[in-house]
Every structure is written in structure tokens, then in C-alpha cells.
A and B are shown apart, each in its own frame.
Chain A
Amino acid sequence: MSLTETSEVFVAVEESALNDLITAVCTTRPHLLHYGSPAFVPASSTSATQMAPIPFPGSPGLQWSVELTIPQLDLFKEDLPLPPELTLGPGQFSLSTVVQLCVDCASRGKGDEPKDDHHNDHGDDHTHHDPKEPDPKDDRGDNWPDNRDNWGKARNPMCCRLGVFAIGHLVTTWVGGQQAIGFAVDSVEIVDIEPNGLESVFECLLLMILRSVLADMSLPVTALELDAFTLTPTEGPLIDVNRVLARGNF
């Protein structure tokens, strides 16, 4: 069977190359994977994207951040094991990443010792607290003071890391006037969260986060074939077995 079949041009990108391309994008533009309010992200930069605090009555806004590790894609057929809740079907990709969710816990009870389990092996809840800093003020019962003179520093960040698996499919999109492939997430699974209601909330939250993150991450078709030949796709790009392929006219 010919590569081009009835077309003039054929392009195939193995999943390792696809991951190389995604890694290149994410390492050059890490802000695509890191979002946070001013306490965590003092200003938008190449490294991170600053977003507004979550408004909430009686507070200056809840400070938060979300940071993802570089997603690892596995194209059908399944090479990387998935939780039993997810099944990788033809034409789909799976995605695995670790999401770190942080909030700045501005109010702590007097006498509460901040936990420092940031480096625990289980990736569960943990805090960041600089022992050189004074203990957080116990402002329980008061309105939270909006006295941050240094918005680039969360005072009492509490974070958790969640291993996330997702299933998705490719979509056709456009970047700078060029046809490109995008990544659409269909479902998300987080392992080992209980109760189920909490798991569902987190999964929904992360599904929305992943969809948003991936909406800004696309690869031009020219990058898939290194611009070796000019390709106007008439078939694909689509997921074949462990690769993305496209056929088209020269």
C-alpha cells in the first residue's frame, strides 16, 4: 500500500515527535501551563499568566494558582496505562499530566502550625511557608485585610498535586492563517479521590482547565512535516495507530 494512496502528499508524525513538539511549545512558553492570581503570579510573563483573584464577598479575592506539568500524549493504540475508567479508542489520544492547585490560605487559626509536607511522596495536600516569615496573622472573624504590598508572594500557599488522565481527540484549527491541529479533551479521570462527589467536582474542574489550556496549544500542519513539502490536507490530520497522519495535495 502506498503512503500517499490517492493523494499527492503524505505526512506522518509518530507520537514521540508529537510529544517533542508539545514539549518544545511548553518549555518555550511555560505560561501556557501556569496560571495564577497576583499572589502567585505577580505579572504575566513567558513563565506564567496572571489572572484575577476569585472574587468572594468579604475578601479581597481568593488567591489561587494552577500549574500543569508538560502533558504526555499517547496516541491510539494504548501504550501508557490508563485508569480503568478510561478507554482509549481509535482516533483518540490519552493525556497524562500532574496538576498543582494552590490557594493562598490567608486566614489561619492562632497557634496552628503550618504543615510543611510539600515534599511528601504522595503528592497530597501540602503547604509552602517560609519559616523566616512571621507567623500569619490570626485574622479569623475579621474582614480579610487587603494589605498586600507584595502581590507576588502568597503568604500561606496550600497546594495539592493531582495526577490527571484524560481522553481526547484532535480538532482542526488555524494558527496565524495556517491550518493546525488542536487538542480537545473529552473526559478526565483523577485517581484515588474520595468521596466520589469530591472526585467529580475536581474532575469537572480539571476538565475545564485542560480544555482551556489546550485551546491555546496547537501545532501548525507545516510543523508536522517540517515544511519538507507543501501540504494542503484533504484527509486528516487524524490519529492513526501511534501516529498522526495527513494526506493532501501538493
Chain B
Amino acid sequence: MSEIVAAIDEGAAQQLFTTEVASLGTQSTSGSSSLGPFGVSYAVSGTLSNGTVDLIAPATIEIADLRLDWHVDLSFQLDIGDFIPDIHIPQICIPIPCVGTVCTPRIDIVWPTVTIPVSFGDFLKTTVDLGVALSLVAGVWKVEGVVQGVPNLQFGAATAALLAAIGVAVAAAVAWVPLIGPFLAVLAVAVTAAIGIAGLTGLLGPLITPFISGTRFPITEVNALFEVLPASGPFDPAVFVTVETLAAEVQHNAPEDELVVLADIKP
């Protein structure tokens, strides 16, 4: 039997989780990846919030409806010539009696490569299971809830919306190109078709998932050399005890499920 037992019910665990989620703040990362046929550089950020705690004995904290607000800034190079053939109209000369030879100008349209910036944000909800992890690092016992496995994130309508945003971004980015007008709509459709839903989820999944997968939610920290009383004068130095062991588990103590921390100390 442990010498010290501290327990909180699901209501307190909910308060604790809400506070800890808020303290995580906004996470962000950047890099490069593939967006369908395109190489893309990205900057992505995510903020977790909400979530309903369900304690499940012996060692699971289920968080339902965990919300992730995410935002992504993409930038990729679009070689228009990959979608619309370059136009080469040779010079044509026609001899005209009494006038002479009349030639049309040679026309060469080589489509440029343009940079397409896309900015998009949305949110998703998911349910994750946290395992209770315990560690003793640098003299501090840490109890954390760690997301188990890789959650299957459903982007849903966000992918279609992002595709549409890419189409709009393409149209805006190439609008300056001379003679592109008649091809604008075709180009936007071609690009979004090349990317497709699969291309988007192939990009978003690996970018967004790390904001949830493996996330560690602090539950509590206890110094292995725990200060019982602070120093309070020249003859009253601080009083410490050593926390020899610490453990954490979910217990079903009917009618409640409780998050329990167990400890043993020595003077």
C-alpha cells in the first residue's frame, strides 16, 4: 500500500485537462513536401482545445471531441506549360498580286512558371486515448497523458474547400500572364484535378497529425526532493522529503472513475 494517495474525479480531471490543453498554446512547423505533382513548401500551425475527459481503468484517459484548429500556408511553383501547351505560330507569308508578299508575325507563347501562394485554415475534431506515462527526469517526477497511436483525422469538407482555394489562388497568381485569359478556367481546373483529394489528404495528414499524435499532456509534476516547508529564518532551513516512488493510474471506484497518484516518501 502506498503511503500517500491523491485522487481526482472526472470533473477535476476535465478542469486539469482543459487547463493543460490551453497551456500547450499554438504549435507550428514548416518544411517542404508534395502536393500532388507539385513540390510545396509549407508553414502549418495548430491549436488544440476542448475535449471531453472520460477516465477508463486501468490506465486510459479518453478525450472525445478534441478540437484542432489548424492553418496552413502553402507555396508551390506552377509551370503553366505543364498544363497548357506553349503556343508557337510560325510566320506565314502569302504572295498577293500587286501587293507583294504579306507575312503574319511569328507568334511564340511560352508559358511562365509562377509561384502560387495558398493560405487556408479549418478545424477538425477527433477522439484520442491518452496513456498514463511516468518519468523521473532531472529530479522531477512527471506524470503525463500521452496520445496513444496515430489518430485517423477526417478532414471532410476542408479538403474540397482547400482545393477550391487552390483553384482561386492559381487564377489570381497567373492573371498577369499575357494571353492567359482564355485558358484561365481550364488551368485552374487542371491544377486542382492534378492535385485531387488524395493529394491534399496526402499532404495534410502528415502535416496535421503530429499536432495530436504523441502529444504529452502534463498531469502533475512532483520534485523527487520535495520541499515540505520553505526556509523561514536562520534556524529554520527548508525541510525536504525524498519521493522514493511515484505511480499514476485510473481506478474504478464505483460509482466513479478516478485518476490516482500514489507515492512513497522517506525523510
Please list the residues of chain A having a beta carbon within 8 angstroms of any beta carbon in chain B: 1-4, 7-14, 16-17, 20-21, 23-25, 27-29, 31, 44-46, 49, 175-176, 219-220, 223-229, 231, 250
- A229 and B220 CA atoms in complex are apart in Å by 7
Chain B 1-33 interface mask (CB, 8 Å, partner A; 1/0): 111111111011001100000000000000000
B237 on interface, CB distance cutoff 8 Å:
yes
B193 to chain A, nearest CB (A): 54
Please list the residues of chain B having a beta carbon within 8 angstroms of any beta carbon in chain A: 1-9, 11-12, 15-16, 143, 220, 222, 226, 228-230, 232, 235-241, 243, 251, 253-256, 258, 260-261, 263-267
Contacts A46-B235, A227-B226 given; does A8 touch B9 at CB 8 Å: yes
Contacts A29-B236, A175-B229, A220-B228 given; does A229 touch B5 at CB 8 Å: no
Listed by A's residue number, 17 A-B pairs whose Cβ atoms lie within 8 Å are A2-B256, A3-B260, A7-B9, A11-B7, A14-B2, A17-B265, A21-B267, A23-B267, A24-B240, A25-B239, A28-B238, A223-B241, A227-B222, A228-B220, A228-B261, A250-B11, A250-B12
Most central of A2, A7, A45 by chain B CB within 10 Å: A2
Question: Once the chains bind, are B267 and A44 in contact (CB under 8 Å)?
Answer: no
B95 to chain A, nearest CB (A): 97
For B7, the chain A residues whose CB sits under 8 A away are 3-4, 9-11
Question: Once the chains bind, are A20 and B266 in contact (CB under 8 Å)?
Answer: yes
Question: Once the chains bind, are A12 and B16 in contact (CB under 8 Å)?
Answer: no
For A49, the chain B residues whose CB sits under 8 A away are 235
Q: Closest chain B residue to A176 by CB distance?
A: B230
Question: Once the chains bind, are A1 and B228 in contact (CB under 8 Å)?
Answer: no
Question: Once the chains bind, are A16 and B229 in contact (CB under 8 Å)?
Answer: no
Question: Once the chains bind, are B241 and A228 in contact (CB under 8 Å)?
Answer: no
B254 to chain A, nearest CB (A): 7
Question: Once the chains bind, are B15 and A250 in contact (CB under 8 Å)?
Answer: yes
A56 to chain B, nearest CB (A): 28
Q: Closest chain B residue to A29 by CB distance?
A: B236
Please classify the interface of chain B as helix (H, G, I), strand (E, B), loop, or mixed, using the class held by over half of its residues: strand
Question: Once the chains bind, are A29 and B243 in contact (CB under 8 Å)?
Answer: no
Question: Once the chains bind, are A228 and B235 in contact (CB under 8 Å)?
Answer: no
Contacts A9-B8, A12-B4, A250-B15 given; does A21 touch B241 at CB 8 Å: yes
A1 to chain B, nearest CB (A): 7
For B236, the chain A residues whose CB sits under 8 A away are 29, 46
- A2 and B255 CA atoms in complex are apart in Å by 6
For A8, the chain B residues whose CB sits under 8 A away are 8-9, 11-12, 15
For B254, the chain A residues whose CB sits under 8 A away are 1-2
For B239, the chain A residues whose CB sits under 8 A away are 24-25, 28-29
A126 to chain B, nearest CB (A): 29
Q: Closest chain B residue to A11 by CB distance?
A: B6
- A223 and B238 CA atoms in complex are apart in Å by 13
Question: Once the chains bind, are A225 and B258 in contact (CB under 8 Å)?
Answer: no
Q: Which 7 A-B pairs have CB atoms at the shortest separation, nearest pair first?
A: A17-B3, A250-B12, A2-B256, A8-B12, A24-B267, A23-B267, A2-B253
A4 to chain B, nearest CB (A): 4
